Structures are given as structure tokens and as C-alpha cells.
């Protein structure tokens, strides 16, 4: 069962953009840390990016109603190309006095990037047949996680041969190539038959989610899972490795890498057993949620580094065995014309929740100890499992054209 040209163009274009995203973030964090010596200043980069992407997810629906999805996606990458060129030209003059300009440029890149993910997710059902959706989602997730796993190491290694500014120029080239590939996609028109006011366009996705039982269940699950997932950010994981496992920083990299390996393994399982997963979407969602909860709790209570590696892999595997079927359910729960606003709504929930929960988990870790936040994460995932159990009958493929 082959996937078509449009899907391959979409996957390749977005993969190049994802590679560029990691490389430029590595460059900026490196430059800020070298200039200030402050981990807090460097940590502001992901915070600014997450906050800007939340705003972008909230404001994207009117753009989706006005522009062809293909050109919205290609245009966002072309805009990022221009901003990266401006960033590369600015960086030689970077000082602590003009940090505000740096963060303004980073924020603008994130605003454009925030619309790319929901548009991509909304385009996939247009470009592949209904029976190929699970396979397409599995391939997309596998490639995305491979990029996330590899490019942080590659980006750090490239700084040995290239300066951070040269790496930003390389990223601008990747964004340009991405925009050229995405412009070759077939046109998909998501415009409504009648004009709608801006507020209705912004709130349409929220209304769809609130009125569709399966989407309401998934929205609550994603909010809880996003809060729970905040324990895997670099700062909290580093504290866990240092305090709970009492090992050096190389284990920080090992555990972080093993989690991504688990995500990749979960994606590959879905690809290998596509038909089996397809027939049991609700069971995979429920089972993945339950075992994600259990393995996260065990991870937080464990003190043996090798066992932590294994549990980290399992958390990744079970998370992905739930996420890919869940993505397929979302894509087939409403008519295709409603998917863009649904994905921007779910994206806004995820981004907004993650930004707040990252800070909250750090505060709780300082107040109650690093193990407590992993136990809390497991409890939140258990609640998500209960929601999955309550809504299991609705987690089915219900294709609507």
C-alpha cells in the first residue's frame, strides 16, 4: 500500500523544517549561554517559543479560512526563511543590551511555526486515503521522533566545525528548501462557503471540540497528558538524574535518548501491525494510557540507573502506542473541512498547558522533591486513563467527508 506524491512532499518539506528548527534552537541556546553563562537565560528560549506558539495556535483559524492550506504552510516556511536571514545578520551584534531584539525574532519565528503543525495534521487526510491514515500518521511520527532524537546530538556536534551563526545560515537554507517543496503540493481549499467574522473563526474549533464527545474526551486527555509530560523537560530530568539516581550528567543524555527511542519503537510497532492497530483503536488508546501511567510512576520511584533507562523506553513506547491511534481518531471524527480549526484548538490547549505546567512542575519539585512530580505525573496519566475508559466506545474511526 503506497502513499502518494503529496504525502511524500509534505513529509519531506516538514522534516527539513523540523531539522532546521532544532539546529537554530541549539545555536541560539549556545550563543545565549556563552554570552551570559546563565542557564535561566538559555531556558527562556523554549519558554518564549512555547508562549508564541500558543498565541499562534489561537489566532491561526482565521488564516486557515482565508488562505489555501498548502500556501499557508509553504508561506510560513518562507517567512521563517526571511526571519532566519535577519537573525543571522543580527547575531554578530548580539549583546546583553539588545537581547530584546533576539527574543522578538525568536518569537516571530515561533508564531509562524505555530500554524505549521495543525496545518500539516489537517492536510494529511486530504492527501492519503482513509485506510492509509494510520500508516501515514505512523510514518510521520517515526520521522519526527527520529529527527528530534538525532538532531540535538548532530546540532551540538556541528558546533565543533561551524560557528553558531553559520548554523543559523544553514537553517535558513533548510527553511527555503522546505518552502519550495511544500509549494509543490496540490491545492487544498478550506475556505467556508459563506464569510464568517474573525471571532467566530477563532472560536469555531473550540465549539466543535466541545460539541463532539470523542474530541471532548481527547481534549481533556491531552491537557492532562501535557501537564504530566512536563516532567520530561530537560531541567526536571537533569534534577532527577542528579538527585534521585545520583549519577553524573551523561545519564541525563542516556535517559532522554532512551525516551525518544521508545517513541520511535512505538511508531514502528504501529507501522508493522497497522491492520491490527486499526481494528483495535480504542484498546490501544486505553492500554497505552494505563501503561504510560504505571511506567511513569515506577520511573519516579526507582533508584537504579539501568532500570530507569528501561522504564524511560517503555514510557515512550506506550505513549506512542496511544498517540498514533488517537491522532487517527481525531482525523476521522469530523468532516475534513473542520480539521484545521480542530487541530489549532488542540494545539492551543497543548501549548498553553505545557508552558504553565513546565513552571508548575519545577516549583513542585523544589517544594516536595523531584520524585513527587513523577508520581504526580503518573496520577495525572491515571486520570487520563479513566477518561479513556469512559470514552472508549467513541474511539472509533468514523470517517466523514
Predicted TM-score (pTM) of the model is 0.68
Sign of CA dihedral 383, 314, 318, 143: positive
Buried b (16+ CB within 10 A) or exposed e, 66-105: ebbbbebbbbbbbbbbebbbebbeebeebeeeeeeebbeb
Same domain, 3 and 109: yes
Residue 329 lies in a domain: yes
Half-sphere exposure of residue 137, counting CA atoms within 13 Å on the CB side? Answer: 28
Contacts of 340 (CB under 8 A, 6+ apart): 60, 61, 64, 69, 118, 119, 122, 190, 205
Domain-located, residue 30 = yes
Do 214 and 181 share a structural domain?
no
Give the integer Cα–Cα distance in Å for 327 and 62.
23
CATH number of the domain at 375, please.
1.20.1250.20
49 and 152 belong to one structural domain: yes
User: How far is 18 from 183, CA to CA, in rounded Å?
Assistant: 17
Judge if 180 and 39 occupy the same domain: yes
pLDDT by residue for the chain (401 residues), tens only, comes to 455 888 899 999 999 999 998 888 878 877 887 787 665 566 677 778 878 887 887 777 777 777 788 888 899 999 999 999 999 999 998 887 888 899 899 999 998 888 887 788 778 888 888 777 778 878 887 888 788 767 766 776 787 788 889 999 999 999 999 999 999 988 875 555 444 555 565 576 677 888 888 888 888 998 999 889 888 876 677 678 878 888 876 787 678 778 888 988 998 898 888 888 888 888 999 999 999 999 999 999 999 999 999 999 999 999 989 988 888 888 777 777 777 777 777 877 877 787 778 778 877 887 888 899 999 999 999 999 999 888 877 776 665 44
What is the C-alpha end-to-end distance of the chain, expressed in Å?
22
DSSP 186: P
**Pairwise CA distance, residues 154 & 2, whole Å:** 31
Question: Are both 176 and 221 inside the same structural domain?
Answer: no
Alpha helices in 67-98 (DSSP H): 69-90
Q: Residue 365 in contact with residue 239, Cβ under 8 Å?
A: yes
Q: Within a domain: residue 138?
A: no
Structural domain boundaries, residue 391: 198-401
Amino acid at each position: 500500500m503506497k502513499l502518494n506524491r503529496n504525502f511524500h512532499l509534505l513529509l519531506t518539506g516538514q522534516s527539513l523544517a523540523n531539522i532546521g528548527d532544532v539546529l537554530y534552537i541549539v545555536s541560539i541556546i549556545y550563543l545565549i549561554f556563552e554570552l551570559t553563562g546563565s542557564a535561566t537565560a538559555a531556558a527562556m528560549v523554549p519558554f518564549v517559543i512555547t508562549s508564541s506558539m500558543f498565541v499562534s495556535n489561537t489566532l491561526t483559524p482565521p488564516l486557515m479560512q482565508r488562505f489555501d492550506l498548502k500556501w499557508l504552510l509553504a508561506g510560513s516556511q518562507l517567512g521563517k526563511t526571511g526571519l532566519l536571514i535577519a537573525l543571522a545578520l543580527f547575531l554578530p551584534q548580539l549583546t546583553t543590551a539588545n537581547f530584546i531584539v533576539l527574543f522578538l525574532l525568536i518569537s516571530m519565528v515561533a508564531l509562524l511555526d505555530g500554524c505549521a503543525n495543525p496545518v500539516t495534521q489537517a492536510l494529511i487526510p486530504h492527501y492519503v486515503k482513509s485506510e492509509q491514515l494510520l500508516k501515514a500518521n505512523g510514518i510521520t511520527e517515526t520521522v519526527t521522533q527520529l529527527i528530534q532524537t538525532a538532531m540535538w546530538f548532530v546540532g551540538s556536534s556541528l558546533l565543533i566545525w561551524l560557528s553558531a551563526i553559520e548554523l543559523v545560515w544553514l537553517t535558513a537554507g533548510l527553511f527555503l528548501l522546505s518552502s519550495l517543496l511544500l509549494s509543490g503540493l496540490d491545492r487544498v481549499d478550506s475556505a467556508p462557503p459563506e464569510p464568517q467574522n474573525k471571532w467566530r473563526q477563532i472560536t469555531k474549533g473550540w465549539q466543535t471540540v466541545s460539541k463532539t464527545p470523542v474530541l471532548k474526551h481527547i481534549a481533556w486527555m491531552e491537557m492532562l497528558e501535557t501537564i504530566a509530560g512536563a516532567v520530561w523537560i530537560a531541567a526536571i530530568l537533569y534534577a532527577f538524574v542528579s538527585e534521585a539516581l545520583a549519577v553524573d550528567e551523561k545519564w541525563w543524555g542516556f535517559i532522554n535518548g532512551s525516551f525518544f527511542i521508545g517513541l520511535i519503537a512505538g511508531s514502528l510497532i504501529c507501522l508493522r501491525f497497522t491492520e491490527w492497530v486499526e481494528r483495535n483503536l480504542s484498546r490501544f488508546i486505553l492500554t497505552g494510557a494505563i501503561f504510560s501511567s504505571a511506567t511513569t510512576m515506577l520511573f519516579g520511584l526507582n533508584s537504579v540507573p539501568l532500570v530507569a533507562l528501561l522504564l524511560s523506553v517503555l514510557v515512550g513506547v506506550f505513549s506512542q502506542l496511544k498517540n498514533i491511534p488517537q491522532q487517527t481518531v481525531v482525523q476521522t471524527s469530523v468532516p475534513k473541512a473542520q480539521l484545521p480549526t480542530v487541530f489549532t484548538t488542540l494545539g492551543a490547549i497543548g501549548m498553553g498547558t505545557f508552558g504553565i505546567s513546565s513552571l508548575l512542575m519545577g516549583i513542585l519539585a523544589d517544594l516536595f522533591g523531584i520524585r513527587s512530580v513523577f508520581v504526580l505525573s503518573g496520577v495525572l496519566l491515571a486520570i487520563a486513563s479513566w477518561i479513556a475508559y469512559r470514552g472508549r466506545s467513541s474511539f472509533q474511526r468514523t470517517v466523514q467527508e
